[in-house]
Structure 1
Amino acid sequence: MFKKSRDIRIKGGNFTVITRKKGRDPWRKNIAPGAFHNSRERLEFDPPKCHPQTRVAVIQAIIDWIEDRQKTTFITWLNGPAGAGKSAIAQEIAELCYESGCLVASFFWSRSATGRNNAERLIATLAYQLLTAIPQLRQLVEQAVANDTYIFSRSLAAQMETLIIQPLKKAFESKRKGRADSESPKVIILDGLDECATQEAQQSILKVIADSVQKFSVPICFIIASRPEKAIRDSFNDKPLFTITSRVVLDDRYHPDDDIRLFLVESFESVKRTHELRSLLPRAWPTDDEIDQLVRKSSGQFIYAATVMKFVRSSRGRPKDQLDIILGITAAADAAPFAELDALYCRIFSLVLKDDCPRALEILSVAFLVDTYGEHLTARRIETMLSYRRGELQLILTDLHSVLHVPVLKDEDDEDQFDEDNKLRVLHASLQDFLMNPSRSKEFYIDEEKAHARIAQHFLRYIREYSPGKEDVYSCDEMVFCGLERHCYNSTATKELLLDCFDFDPEKWASRLITGFFFFEKGMDWDEAVSSYLDMAELHIWFQEQEAKVQEYFRPASLTTHLSRSWKIAIDSMCGELCCYLGTSTDQLGSRP
Structure 2
Amino acid sequence: MERQHLPATNAMFHGERGTTINIHDGTFMQNNHPPPTVAAVHNCYNEKDGFTHLQAHVATSAFDSAQKVDAPKCHPNTREAVQDDIMNWILPTVMRIQWMLWLNGAAGAGKSAIARSIVALCLAQNIPIARFFFFRTDATRNTIEPVVATLVHQLIQQIPDLLPIITPKIQSDPLVFTKSLETQLRYLVFDPLRQLNSVSPLSVVVLLFDGVDECSGDDNQTNLIHLIADFLRSRELPIIAFFGSRAENQLKQIFQSYEVATNLQQLALDDHYLPDADIRLFLNDKFAQIKTTHPFKDHLDTNWPDPAHVQGIVDKSSGQFIYASVVINFLLSPRRNPGQQLEIIRGLRPTGNLTPFAQLDALYRHIFSRIEDIDRTSLILAWTIFSHWNLRPFIENCSIINDIPVLLADLSSVLVYEEDSIRFLHASLPDFLLDKTRSQGYFLDKRIWCTRISVYWFSKMSAGRPIVKLDIPSAFLQYAEGTAELRKHVLSFNCRQAGNPFALNDYLTALRKVDFGDDGELYRCQLNCTTRYIFDPETRTDSIHMSRFQKNHDISEILAQIESEKAAEARQRTEETRPASTAIDALDISRNGPATDADATSQHVKPRGRKRGASRDVDVEGTPRRSFRSRPQITPSTSSGEPTTAPGTSRQDQGRAKKRRR
| Superposition TM-score tier, normalisation by shorter sequence | 0.7 to 0.9
Q: Which amino acid aligns with 1:151?
A: V
Deviations 1:540-568 (A, max 9, x none): 6458x6362999xxxxxx79769954663
Aligned to 1:28: 55
Q: Which has the higher contact order (CA 8 A, sep 6+)?
A: 1
Give the 5 Å matches for 1:54-453.
54-68=78-92, 69-173=94-198, 181=202, 184-215=203-234, 217-353=236-372, 356-372=373-389, 377=390, 380-388=392-400, 390=402, 392-407=403-418, 417=419, 423-453=421-451
Tell me if the contact between 1:165 and 1:215 (Cα under 8 Å) persists in the aligned partners. Answer: no
In structure 2, relative to structure 1, the CA distance for the partners of 1:581 and 1:364 (3 Å cut) is: closer
Counterpart CA distance in 2 for 1:148 and 1:540 is: 76
Tell me if the contact between 1:482 and 1:513 (Cα under 8 Å) persists in the aligned partners. Answer: no
Q: Which amino acid aligns with 1:30?
A: H
Tell me if the contact between 1:228 and 1:402 (Cα under 8 Å) persists in the aligned partners. Answer: yes
Shift of 1:340: 1.2
Shift of 1:482: 2.4
Tell me if the contact between 1:533 and 1:578 (Cα under 8 Å) persists in the aligned partners. Answer: no
Q: Which amino acid aligns with 1:569?
A: Y
Shift of 1:112: 2.6
Give the 5 Å matches for 1:465-504.
477=468, 480-504=469-493
Choose which of 500, 504, 519 in structure 2 pairs with 1:512. 500
Shift of 1:106: 0.7
Deviations 1:296-332 (A, max 9, x none): 1111111111111111111121111110010011111
Tell me if the contact between 1:506 and 1:567 (Cα under 8 Å) persists in the aligned partners. Answer: no
Counterpart CA distance in 1 for 2:240 and 2:460 is: 53
Counterpart CA distance in 2 for 1:341 and 1:158 is: 38
Q: CA RMSD of the aligned region, Å? A: 3.1
Tell me if the contact between 2:394 and 2:401 (Cα under 8 Å) persists in the aligned partners. Answer: no
Structure 1 segments unaligned to the other structure (5+ residues): 1-19, 408-416, 471-476, 515-531, 552-557, 584-593
Larger Rg: 2
In structure 2, relative to structure 1, the CA distance for the partners of 1:533 and 1:40 (3 Å cut) is: closer
In structure 2, relative to structure 1, the CA distance for the partners of 1:460 and 1:65 (3 Å cut) is: farther
How many pairs are equivalent? Answer: 501
Secondary structure of the residue that 1:31 maps to in structure 2?
coil
Aligned to 1:548: 518
In terms of fraction of residues, the more helix-rich structure is 1
Give the TM-score, by structure 1 length.
0.77
In structure 2, relative to structure 1, the CA distance for the partners of 1:253 and 1:381 (3 Å cut) is: farther
Tell me if the contact between 1:31 and 1:125 (Cα under 8 Å) persists in the aligned partners. Answer: yes
Tell me if the contact between 1:298 and 1:428 (Cα under 8 Å) persists in the aligned partners. Answer: yes
Tell me if the contact between 1:533 and 1:574 (Cα under 8 Å) persists in the aligned partners. Answer: no
Q: Which amino acid aligns with 2:321?
A: F
Tell me if the contact between 1:436 and 1:445 (Cα under 8 Å) persists in the aligned partners. Answer: yes
Q: Which amino acid aligns with 2:542?
A: L
Q: Which amino acid aligns with 1:63?
A: M
Shift of 1:90: 0.5
Shift of 1:268: 0.8
Structure 2 segments unaligned to the other structure (5+ residues): 1-46, 548-662
Secondary structure of the residue that 1:440 maps to in structure 2?
helix
Counterpart CA distance in 2 for 1:56 and 1:458 is: 51
Secondary structure of the residue that 2:66 maps to in structure 1?
helix
Deviations 1:32-51 (A, max 9, x none): 22222xx25358x8652211
Shift of 1:145: 1.5
In structure 2, relative to structure 1, the CA distance for the partners of 1:503 and 1:247 (3 Å cut) is: farther
In structure 2, relative to structure 1, the CA distance for the partners of 1:214 and 1:388 (3 Å cut) is: same
Deviations 1:482-516 (A, max 9, x none): 2333321122223433333234221121x3255xx
Shift of 1:237: 3.0
Q: Which amino acid aligns with 2:434?
A: M
Counterpart CA distance in 2 for 1:29 and 1:47 is: 26
Shift of 1:534: 4.4
Q: Which amino acid aligns with 1:496?
A: E
Tell me if the contact between 1:194 and 1:202 (Cα under 8 Å) persists in the aligned partners. Answer: yes
2:18 aligned with 1:48, yes or no? no
Secondary structure of the residue that 1:364 maps to in structure 2?
helix
Q: Is the deviation greater in 93-102 or in 450-459?
A: 450-459
Tell me if the contact between 1:227 and 1:402 (Cα under 8 Å) persists in the aligned partners. Answer: yes
